[in-house]
Amino acid sequence: MNDDRSAFAPIDLHSLSIEMVDSDVDCPIVLCDDFPGFPVKHFCMAPRYESYVDHVLIPNGMVKDRIEKMALNIVTSFGNDKARSVTLLCVLKGGFRFLADLIHGLESTIRARGTSLPMSMDFARIKSYVNDKSAHEPIFTGLENPEQYRNKDILVVEDIIDTGKTMRSLLKYLESLSPRSVKVAR
C-alpha cells in the first residue's frame, strides 16, 4: 500500500449524499499538520512504550469524550426519527473497537435518558485493496442475508473514511436492500 499520505484526497463528507448521525460534522476537531502534540510527561503511559512515543496527538480521554458525544447525537437522531430499533453494521476489522466503545456510550445514554432503543449488531468486511492495489470495486462479505435489512434503521459503524469510495459503494449496496434509513457514525 502507498504510504504517501498526500496520495489520499480529503473527503467532502457532504458529497456522500447520506445522513451523518453526528451533528458536529460542520465543526470537526482539526489537528494542523504542524501541531507538535502534547508532551508525554502529561500522560500515564506504560514504561515499555515511553521510548517509542515522543508526543501524544489525541489523548485517550478526548477520544472517549468524543464517542460519548456521538452516542448522545445518535440516540437523539434515531429518537427524532421514531426508530423502533437500530441495526449497528460494523465494518471490520478496524471498526470493532470503535463499535465496542460506541455501544457502551449508547447504552449509557439510553439508560440516563430512561428511553428505549433496541439494538442489534451485524458485521461486514470490505476489501478495497487486493495485493496492495486498489480494487476496481470493493468486495463485501458478511452481508449474506440481505432481507434482514428491509425496512430497518441501519447505523454503519466505521473507524476510518479515507476517500469515501468504499463507503459510497457500501451505502449504495445498503440502499438497494430497501432499509427504512441508513446513517453513518463518524
Count other C-beta atoms under 10 Å from residue 135's C-beta. 15
Per DSSP, 12 falls in state -
**Catalytic position from the list 24, 54, 81, 162:** 162
Segments in the chain forming alpha helices (H):
47-50, 60-80, 95-113, 165-175
Structural contact between residues 21 and 183, judged by C-beta atoms closer than 8 angstroms: yes
Q: Measured between alpha carbons, how far is 94 from 159 in angstroms, rounded to an integer?
A: 6
Q: Determine contact, residues 99/66, Cβ cutoff 8 Å.
A: no
Single out the residue of 176, 173, 179, 172 nearest to residue 152, CA to CA: 179
Active-site residue flag, 162:
yes
Residues belonging to the active site: 162
